Amino acid sequence: MMNEIHDLLAKYRGAAAATADKDPKKQNKAAENVRACYALLKKSPDGRQGIIALLTDSSPQVRLWAASHSLAWSPELARPVLDAIRRSGEFPSSFTAEITLAEFEKGTLTFD
Superfamily of domain 2-106: Phosphatidylinositol 3-kinase, accessory domain (PIK) (1.25.40.70)
Contact 34, 25 (CB under 8 A): no
Give pTM, 2 decimals: 0.95
Per-residue pLDDT of the chain (112 residues; tens, 9 = 90+): 679 999 999 999 999 999 999 999 999 999 999 999 999 999 999 999 999 999 999 999 999 999 999 999 999 999 999 999 999 999 899 999 999 999 999 999 998 7
So where are the chain's domains? Answer: 2-106
Contact 109, 71 (CB under 8 A): yes
pLDDT on residue 16: 98
CA distance 36 to 105: 25
pLDDT on residue 2: 76
CA distance 2 to 17: 22
CA distances from 43 to 25, 31, 38, 90 (A): 28, 19, 9, 32
Contact 93, 85 (CB under 8 A): yes
